[in-house]
Amino acid sequence: MKRNLRNISALLAGAVILLTCQGCEEFITHDSPSGVTDVQWWNTETDAKAALKSVYAGIPAGSSGRNTMYFAGMSDEAVHRGDFKGAYDLYTRGTHDTRWGDALAIWRDDYIDIRRANRFLENIHRVYMSETDKTRMKYEARALRAYYHMELLMLFGDIPLVTKSVLPNENQLPRTDSKTVYDFIMAELKECAENLPKEYVNAEAWRISSGACWAFITRLALYYKDYPTARDAAKAIIEQKAYSLYKSSNSNANSFAELFSYAGELNKERIFYSENGCSNAWTSFAPAGIGGETYLSPTNTVVDNFETKQGNTIFELGPDSVKIYQKNPNYRNNRDPRLSASIFYPGESFQNKYTLDPFNNKTDKIGETKSTVTGYWIKKYIDPMDQQAKKGTLDFMIIRYAEVLLSYVEALVELDDWQNPDVLEYLNEVRNRAKMPSVQAFKYNSKEKMRELVRRERQAELAFEGQRYFDIRRWGIVNEVMNGDVYGATNPQTGEIVKVQTRKYNPERDALWPIPDLEIYANPNMEQNPKY
């Protein structure tokens, strides 16, 4: 639905959103809807549940809606094509501006969701229902409101902090400094974490929980290098013992691969997820030759990151080995099993029926319509069960336990506590689940070496899940990895590597997204980010 809105106040006070029912739509998005008043609307538990469900409507998905997985296309691990699925490639080429649609979409949607949360909190007291349920629902709304602020903060920097529904005569909101917004988010998430259930029955597992709040605290604290807070929040999740890494009941199965399929969909690893959030993964990532469509293609950077099964990087093996593994990424089936679980590569056989060949097969050829642009394809969330219909019901894990373990380890390393036994324990837990060997402690015998391993492990485990975009910024390597040429697969016949594009990153501008020009034009108190 089109939302032709001029500024935050319009977004907060009058947006029209499709909700569960027409009455709910009218009430949540208008202060004085015709024929519906606060007294008339907020009566039953059903009303309250419908209103809270509308607050949940804004949580991101993987390959649809907020397109979290497409953030990989704004990092060094993937290349995006297909503007109708977002113009993310404009960002990597440095040609985005204040009219960039992706920035407007997130700015607009998050403030709509914040308004819904505020409206819920301001009116839930009118509803006749269990006080216990009412209290829990308030914490859910507050946690979601904090999450939407967090998303805006990490992308735009200083943003208006909005804790009540804004009326038309209260428009022209100024930006609030990042520290104040950060402190608000942290305080809200902490209080919610201490009061929400640590888990729900499976039918309601989609709700935001205590663990999800601690997980978002961990993620935000890491981004702002608040390592003590990140460490403590991650440790709180571990100590809850509500989550665990998924392991298949079939000892011969690739548990990591199964995690992103229907076979492993119901698991204790997902901390917060979007229902059906990867329902259209097949028409977003899958090879055209097996009936899919490809709009996000992995780079050689993410492929080369995977270790061998002996725990060595391909670069440690020498230049001859590098050439072998670049021609055949899974040479002799000797790479980290997460490679074959995350990425389709040239020469791979799909269900022993179809061999992927982006260099000779016209259907899969590099650069063809709906085909890969690098010679690689994303495999996460591509389940063969969806091949015929080209759609399904797979949920998207917004944050999962493996990320928390890696974040906990990283916080310890950055706090100079890299020899803490928890570092090896949880790194090994993540690696061993993927059937990778335990860390060679003699090899990673300093803070710098352990940091190197943690960062490599994080990309191997979380590739294409949306966090690499933020990781390269907080690590201070974004200028290095986002400037220059981007490469894909190596042609096994010629030994030539595919050059995809040349990227341009401006460190004085591109650390933050532009405030949408519609907001700037309508609000004299709104200031633009630097260099836009």
Which CATH number is 173's domain given? Answer: 1.25.40.390
Mean pLDDT over 290-319 rounds to 98
Range of the domain at 216: 8-76+96-240+511-522
- The residue-averaged pLDDT of 82-94 equals 88
Mean pLDDT, rounded, of the chain: 92
- Lowest mean pLDDT segment, chosen from 31-45, 306-320, 477-491: 31-45
Q: Is 166 part of any domain?
A: yes
Phi and psi at 23, nearest 5°, equal: -60, -40
> C-alpha 491: how far from its chain's center?
31
Confidence check: pLDDT of 489 > 80: yes
Q: Band of the pLDDT at 172, cuts 50, 70, 90? A: confident
Beta strands in 237-351, from DSSP E residues, in sequence order: 270-274, 296-298, 343-344, 349-350
Q: What is the pLDDT of residue 277?
A: 97
Band the pLDDT of 70: cuts 50, 70, 90.
very high
Measured CA angle at 123 (ends 122, 126), to 5 deg: 140
Q: What is the mean pLDDT of residues 61-72?
A: 91
Which pLDDT band, with edges at 50, 70 and 90, does 85 fall under? Answer: confident
Rounded mean pLDDT, 473-484: 97
Neighbours of 310 (CB within 10 A): 11
**33 within a domain of the structure (yes/no):** yes
pLDDT of residue 432: 98
- Whole-angstrom Cα distance, residue 37 to residue 30? 10
Asked if residue 166 has pLDDT above 90, the reply is no
- For 382-410, the pLDDT digits (tens) are 999 999 999 999 999 999 999 999 999 99
On whether residue 116 sits in a domain, the answer given is yes
- Would residue 448 count as lying in a domain? no
Q: Is the pLDDT of residue 175 over 60?
A: yes
Q: Which of 26-35, 100-109, 333-342, 502-511 has the lowest mean pLDDT?
A: 26-35
Residue 28 pLDDT class (50, 70, 90 cuts)? very low
Question: Between 324 and 4, where is the model more confident?
Answer: 324
For position 37, what pLDDT does the model report?
57
Looking at residue 413, what is its pLDDT?
98
Per-residue pLDDT averaged across 105-109, rounded? 95
Q: How far apart are CA 449 and CA 313, in angstroms?
A: 13
Give mean pLDDT, residues 92-114: 96
Residue 170 pLDDT class (50, 70, 90 cuts): confident
Q: Which two tokens mark 452?
A: 């190197």
Q: Is the per-residue pLDDT at 362 higher than 80?
A: yes
Residue 56 domain flag: yes
Q: Would residue 138 count as lying in a domain?
A: yes
In this predicted model, which residue has the larger pLDDT, 455 or 8?
455
Task: Return the percentage of the chain with pLDDT > 70, whole number.
Answer: 92
Identify residue 232 by its one-letter amino acid code.
D
Dist. CA 382–CA 291, nearest whole Å: 12
User: How confident is residue 294, by pLDDT bands cut at 50, 70 and 90?
Assistant: very high
User: How far apart, in whole angstroms, are the C-alpha atoms of residue 84 and residue 43?
Assistant: 41
| Position 324 in a domain | no
- The model's pLDDT over 212-267, given as tens digits with 9 standing for 90+, comes to 999 999 999 999 999 999 999 999 999 999 999 999 999 999 999 999 999 999 99
Q: Is 198 exposed, middle or buried (0-12, 13-18, 19+ CB in 10 A)?
A: middle
- Say yes or no to pLDDT of 3 above 70: no
Residues 6 or more apart whose CB falls under 8 angstroms from that of 400 comprise 269, 270, 271
In a domain, 145, yes or no: yes
Structural domains counted in the chain: 1
- Which residues of 266-334 form beta strands (DSSP E)? 270-274, 296-298
